[in-house]
Amino acid sequence: MYLKFVEIFCDVALRRSFSKGAAAQQVSQSAASQAVLTLERRLGTALIDRSKRPLELTPAGQVYFDGCREVLQNYRALEDQVRQIEHRVAGTVRVAAIYSVGLMQMESYTRRFAELYPDTQVHLEYLHPDQVYAQVLNDEADIGLVSFPRHGGDLVSVDWQEQPMVLVLPPGHALAGRNGHRVRTEDLSGLDFVSFTHDLAIRREVDRWFKRTKVAVTVKREFDNIENIKRAIEAGSGVAVLPEPTVRQEVAAGSLVAVQFSDVAWYRPLGIVHKRHKQLTQAVRKLIELLHADPASFPKSNGASNHAPVVRPAVRNRSGVAARRRAAATGSKSSKRA
């Protein structure tokens, strides 16, 4: 019983909020508050300063939090070792993902993961890229799914996918059916453009691509996620360069048009990041392994899975990707990568 209370306390402390900690543990806010209060009564001291917003740990609470995180990590590792004796994969995998790693794409993986390992659960949360990295570094997530992944320091990045970038237009745009549904980068000059905000890696990379190819666009709108960019294009605010998989649903529905480039090959890399020196459980390792499989190869599901992911609002050789990026800097058509 106390172990569950400790888990609740750690999530409340990490998120500095009873409501957010309760949501992470899938309990009510009152249950989370009662769990922390039980620990405080048992220890005879306050662990959380409830007068502060956001919540703050007391000195005793900070000591307890640091120790409990280590205890929980060791306990999970011990459970994993015991399960491996029986070749059993079980436990929760906590995944933090950027918004553009779509729910539909991830559902194929999580459904197959539940079929292969019924004693597991995937806890999936969609966040801003900076929050994804923060959750991984703070041990709030086991792995993070990001674009243009960082590598080095306390993070390890495993290459996952490379998604082709396309010009996305509203139906009826002059470039929608040009040259057999292909355009040249020079055709973008002077167009009204819907872009990502400057704090995102993908915006900085797209700006570099435009600078290399001497493309000058007029940025009319900026958003920090792909969904809003797509809605702006549908509303006629401009065009955008986006990863092709992220617009398949709209293209199929006829609300957007995706046009390939004839003179460049730009890609957005997706990576799986985790904390360096962290012992990954067998369930986490198995999910990483599955993420490198092609969802098209998965057996057709006979119905809805009883182990749906808990959702809260590739290339494996790093040296190969690095080589292509170095080639991209020289302007090589076949090696530009996003």
Q: Are 265 and 338 in contact (CB under 8 A)?
A: no
Q: In this predicted structure, what is the pLDDT of residue 178? A: 54
The answer to which of 44-58, 103-117, 202-216, 226-240 has the lowest mean pLDDT is 103-117
Write the CA distances from 199 to 60, 68, 222, 264, integer angstroms.
37, 34, 11, 25
Structural domain that includes position 25: 1-85
- Give 80 or 248, the one with higher predicted confidence: 248
74 domain residue, yes or no: yes
92 domain residue, yes or no: no
For residue 22, the domain's CATH number is 1.10.10.10
177 domain residue, yes or no: yes
Number of domains present in the structure of the chain: 2
| Of 182, 238, 241, 190, residue with least CA distance to 215 | 190
Residue at a domain's end among 227, 250, 268: 268
pLDDT tens figures, 267-317: 999 999 999 988 899 999 999 999 999 888 888 766 544 455 554 444 333
251 domain residue, yes or no: yes
Q: In this predicted structure, what is the pLDDT of residue 324? A: 42
Q: Tell me what the pLDDT averaged over the chain comes to.
A: 85
Question: What is the rounded average pLDDT of the residues 105-113?
Answer: 90
Expressed in angstroms, the distance from the first to the final Cα of the chain is 48
Q: In this predicted structure, what is the pLDDT of residue 208? A: 95
